A and B are shown apart, each in its own frame.
Chain A
Amino acid sequence: MNAMQTPVIDAAALKPRIAASGVQVYYGTNHALKDVSVDILDRTTTAFIGPSGCGKSTFLRCLNRMNDTVASARVEGKILLDGQDIYDKRVDPVQLRARIGMVFQKPNPFPKSIYDNVAYGPRIHGLARTRADLDEIVETSLRRAALWNEVKDRLQAPGTGLSGGQQQRLCIARAVATGPEVLLMDEPCSALDPIATAQVEALIDELRERYSVVIVTHSMQQAARVSQKTAFFHLGNLVEYGDTQQIFTNPQDPRTESYITGRIG
């Protein structure tokens, strides 16, 4: 759980999953993200930190083309997922989002039963051939999100009736159920209390064994706890990107140091 004590991942041993280079994002005339290049590694948790409005969530939403749903947004540059440009015309954004799952800041379970929430993705993508298959996917996903024991007796209860922390874990289970390769999390703990936060963080650490996880966070302690790589954004620029330990102990850029020590932000 504590990344500061776990051995530093040997970056060279892991392939980059996502390679972004020269990404620019405009919202209308507003230049929100300026020339960002980052490699997201396989089986690694990457944290995006930075003050509000710095572009970290914008960049995260570029990775699964969620910015497509914003009419005024325009994205330039290259983002490769396993060597394939995700902004290529041949890529179906709908398929892409099934491979790159997303968890949002505010828990947003659908107004359906817990079971139907988790089964939503598998159903629309046809991942389960039989009812038993689907039951199994739901159970594994809920187990993986550390929610199974709490809800196994009331799978037909509405997902919106759960507590905030449970709802967020339900949303994680829902994202996991589609079998994504990358999991994007946009401040997943900002609406949660410390206990629920600890549960979600433990979960992130577990998920890292199978997926690469990208997490946007305002909490530097959280970034230090859960991530192996950290990217610091400031005013739409990627200021610094490197091993978490190095960013937090020996930042190269003065702006990073000021932010981490609490002088800007």
Chain B
Amino acid sequence: MSIALLSLIVLGLAALGYLLGRQRALAAAGGDMRRLHSLPSYYGASVFLFTAVPAFLAMVLWLLVQPVVVDRSTAAMITAADVPQGSSHALVMADVRRIAAGLDILVARGMDEDLLATMRADLSDIRGRLGGVGVAVAETVSPNVFEAAKSYRSLANTGRLAMAAAVLALAVGGLLYAAFRITPDLRARNIVESFIRVLLIGASTIAILTTLGIVLSLVFESWHFFRLYPAKDFFFSLTWNPKFGGGSSLGVWPLVWGTLYVSFVALVVAVPLGILAAIYLSEYASPTVRGLAKPALEILAGIPSIVYGLFALITVGPLLRDWLAMPLGLGDSSSSVATAGLVMGIMLIPYVSSLSDDIINAVPQAMRDGSFGLGATPSETVRQVVLPAALPGIVGAILLAASRAIGETMIVVMGAGAAAKLSMNPFEAMTTVTVKIVSQLTGDTEFASPETLVAFALGLTLFVFTLGLNVLALFIVRKYREQYE
């Protein structure tokens, strides 16, 4: 029984339960809704939830656990002799799973189950048959592997049947339990409320656990990296020169410097422009101008960053080179920190301005009235009353822009180039952590060398930087916030 069909049946049962619960509640109250504790639909919903939720939970749990159990019991059938030279146990297990899947297809195409049970790897052409249904197996299948595949398949099938039985039993059980305990006094509203509460807690838990999982995987893989490559060199070496044959120097500083430099230039462009635009929009502009200008500015946020990258590569880069870098004698590269920073800054303007505008608008009008009433001009009011009150939010907006800048890849590749360099000259090509993560992981190198694993260490470095930025911003906000309520 497929998962989809099973889900449909459970949902159907639950819908049935809803109707039954409603009807039973009304019957229990003798048709008079006012005698019920809750509205009839709540009784229906409580039966629905009791039918569907435990059944689906059980299904999800089963689907997570079953492969592990089946894998573990078949893995024992593969002996060391079955593992060919240069391969590993895990690879053979992957073959087992693929053969099992191929056998499933064979059976679905009309092969007899009994025939399959008597089939032996050393007598029949397994490889050819599997190839016939589109499952390619590299070598001839050894008897042990084939037996393991058969047992894998039968275990998986039994497990799936058992799951269907368990899920259906749970659904029916939940339905009966919930439907038969309905009395007019049952607090169905509160039951539904607690289900919703649990649902919400579940949703936030998943979000938090996912974050935690990502961080842990970063830490774990970085740890792998540091076992292969000395941490001292990673943190203190000033050269980034990966060689895929070994003997690379993987110093993080050129990349961190590039990231910070480009982000800094971007923020220098975006923050003043964005905040000033926000102040104009919220404090000075007439409603008509505001109605036109704000959406126009927000369109900037909708442009994909690759388009900005093109803009950097084709227009801004050559422009800066021909009009600034060459005349000043600062270099002749069209990809430069200044190019990427400038274009990225333009991309970030709407982030800063749109958020800041909302925040400035949220400052109560009474603050402005008080300031105007004392004879302050609009700009004095903005500087001394509105901006301090809006500061926490504005710092938040800047921070968001900063993390966008630090994480941006496309504009850097096209605008700043891919050369890892430590230089103060803004007209020189540099690169950032994100670009290098991409270039270390693309290509077909083994996934166990320091040259690829360094990507995780770089990711972790990036994460620590943004985390530090967040903490710093929190600190600034706490210290300088002027609370108006």
Contacts and interface: CB of A to CB of B under 8 A. Distances in A.
A98 B368 contact: no
Interface in A150-197: 158, 160, 171, 174-175, 178
Contact of A160 (B368, B374, B380, B484): B484
Nearest to A102: B373
B375 interface: yes
B309 to A, nearest CB: 42
B375 A124 contact: yes
A120 B374 CA distance: 8
A112 B371 CA distance: 12
Contacts of A97: 372-375
A27 interface: no
A110 B371 contact: yes
B482 A111 contact: yes
A94 interface: yes
A96 interface: yes
Dominant secondary structure of chain B at its interface with chain A? helix
Interface string B387-401: 011000000000000
A69 interface: yes
Nearest to B377: A94
22 contacts: A64-B373, A66-B369, A94-B375, A96-B375, A97-B373, A97-B374, A97-B375, A101-B374, A102-B373, A102-B374, A106-B366, A108-B364, A109-B370, A110-B389, A110-B484, A111-B388, A111-B484, A120-B376, A120-B384, A121-B375, A174-B370, A178-B374
Given A158-B483, A160-B483, A110 B375 contact: no
A111 B368 contact: no
B370 A124 contact: no
Contacts of A120: 371, 374, 376, 384
Contacts of A175: 373-374
A129 interface: no
Given A69-B369, A106-B366, A124-B380, A112 B374 contact: no
B286 interface: yes
A125 interface: yes
Given A69-B368, A174-B374, 5 more contacts: A108-B370, A111-B482, A120-B371, A158-B483, A175-B374
Nearest to B372: A69
Contacts of A104: 366, 369-370, 373
Contacts of B380: 124
Given A111-B482, A111-B484, A66 B372 contact: yes
B287 interface: yes
A98 B389 CA distance: 23
A108 B374 contact: no
A12 interface: no
A71 interface: yes
Interface string A68-100: 010100000000000000000000001111110
Interface string B236-247: 000000000000
B290 to A, nearest CB: 11
B135 to A, nearest CB: 70
Contacts of A66: 369, 372-373
A147 B294 CA distance: 44
B286 A110 contact: no
Sort chain B's interface into a size bin.
Answer: 20 to 34
A95 B482 CA distance: 27
B199 interface: no
B374 A124 contact: yes
Sort chain A's interface into a size bin.
Answer: 20 to 34
Interface in A104-143: 104, 106, 108-112, 120-121, 124-125
B389 A125 contact: no
Nearest to A106: B366
A110 B483 contact: no
A71 B375 contact: no
Contacts of B367: 108, 110-111
Contacts of B374: 97-98, 101-102, 120-121, 124, 174-175, 178
A110 B370 CA distance: 8
Contacts of B364: 108
B191 interface: no
B33 interface: no
Nearest to B385: A110
Contacts of A171: 370
B385 A101 contact: no
B100 to A, nearest CB: 68
A98 B484 contact: no
A101 B483 contact: no
Interface in A202-237: none
B376 A94 contact: yes
A110 B376 CA distance: 13
A54 B370 CA distance: 23
A98 B375 contact: yes
A64 B371 CA distance: 13
Given A71-B286, A71-B287, A104-B369, A178 B375 contact: yes
Interface in A2-54: none
Contacts of A160: 483-485
Contacts of A71: 286-287
Contacts of A101: 373-374
A177 to B, nearest CB: 8
Contacts of A96: 375
Nearest to B364: A108
A209 B377 CA distance: 29
Interface string B334-373: 0000000000000000000000000000001011111111
A186 to B, nearest CB: 10
Nearest to B391: A111
Contacts of A158: 482-483
Contacts of A110: 367, 370-371, 384-385, 389, 482, 484
Interface in B452-485: 482-485
Contacts of B384: 110, 120, 124
Nearest to B482: A111
Nearest to A111: B482
A112 B482 contact: yes
Contacts of A99: 375
